[in-house]
Amino acid sequence: MKELIITDKQKYLEENYPFIGIPELTEKMLCIHCEKIITVGDYKVFKGNGGFEYICCPNAPECSGTVIDWMEPD
């Protein structure tokens, strides 16, 4: 997979976030893969071999978490 550089992270998130309720870029989430609190706006995007783009944990590629693995911290 290759990391893509996203210049307008807000726009990318609005156009590609797969769930209802797009979080704010400043919002804090818990990545259940690396068990760390992340800031949404620090996300990374990787493009897979089939062309699909994955919104990933800021700790990628060390962390394999994607947007589906983020939840609101307690």
Q: Which pLDDT band holds residue 1 (cuts at 50, 70, 90)?
A: confident
Task: Reduce the DSSP state of residue 8 to 3 states and report it.
Answer: coil
Q: Which pLDDT band holds residue 74 (cuts at 50, 70, 90)?
A: confident
Peptide bond into 61 cis (omega under 30): yes
Please report which helix (H) or strand (E) contains residue 24, including its range: none
Dump pLDDT digits (tens) for 17-59. Answer: 999 999 999 999 999 999 999 999 999 999 998 999 999 999 9
C-alpha radius of gyration, the chain, whole number: 11
User: Please, are residues 43 and 55 in contact by the beta-carbon 8 Å criterion?
Assistant: yes
**Residues 51, 72, 69, 44: is their CA dihedral positive or negative?**
positive
User: Please, are residues 45 and 9 in contact by the beta-carbon 8 Å criterion?
Assistant: no
Whether residue 69 has pLDDT greater than 90: yes
